[in-house]
Amino acid sequence: MMAVSDDLSESICLAAHDLAGWPGMNPISVLLVDDNLTFLRIVMRFLDAHDDVVVVGTVRNGDEVLGRVRDLKPDVILIDIAMPDLPGGLEFISRLRAALPGVGIIALTLMGTDGYRRAALEAGVDDFVPKVAVGADLLPAIRRIGKVSQPQRGVASVMAARSL
C-alpha cells in the first residue's frame, strides 16, 4: 500500500494511465481532497481494493485543488467541504463546478444533516457522503457519478436537492 506523500500523486497518476491502456480497463479516476492524513489513507486503502476505481492523487490544501484537478484530470473529486483552508466552503464548490463542469464532485463531510446536504447539492456537488457512511455509500456514489455523462453533471445535483 502506498503512503500519502507529496510525490504520491505522480506515482498514482502513472499507474492510472497504465491501466487505462489495457483492453476493457477504464477505471474511474478519483482525486481525494481532505486535510486529514489518516482519513486520506483510509479512503485510499478502501478504494485500492476495487479494480474499477483508481486514486490519481491527493490534495491536503484547499488552495491547490484547481491546479491539481487541471493537472490530473480526474473523473471524480472527493472533497471534504469543511476543510479549514478551503476557500469559501460551499461557495468554493460553486466555483469548482463552474470551472470544471465535466468533473464529478462528491462532498465528504462530518456534517451529515439534511440541510447541509441540500446546501451542498445546490452548490453543485453531484453527491454527498457523510464520512461516517463512507464504507457503505462512497463506492456506489463514485460508480454512479463516474458513469454520468459530462453535460448532466450538476443538473442531477440540483434536481436531487429539490427533491429533499
Q: Band the pLDDT of 24: cuts 50, 70, 90.
A: low
Strands 127-130 and 104-109: parallel
Mean pLDDT of 37-59: 94
Q: Band the pLDDT of 17: cuts 50, 70, 90.
A: very low
Q: Give the global pTM.
A: 0.76
Question: Is 71 a residue whose pLDDT tops 80?
Answer: yes
Question: Is 156 a residue whose pLDDT tops 90?
Answer: no
108, containing H or E segment? strand 104-109
Percentage of residues in the chain with pLDDT exceeding 90? 45
Give ∠ CA 29-114-82 in degrees, rounded to 5: 55
- Give the pLDDT confidence of 86-131 residue by residue, as tens digits: 766 788 888 889 888 889 999 998 877 788 889 899 999 999 999 9
* Residue 37, helix vs strand vs coil: helix
For residue 45, what are the contacts with CB-CB under 8 A and spacing of at least 6?
1
Question: Is 2 a residue whose pLDDT tops 60?
Answer: no
- Say how far apart CA 68 and CA 35 lie, in whole Å: 15
Sign of the dihedral defined by the CA atoms of residues 57, 144, 163, 109, in that order: negative
In contact, 148 and 156? CB cutoff 8 Å: yes
Domain boundaries, the chain: 9-15+25-163
- For domain 9-15+25-163, give the fold: Rossmann fold (3.40.50)
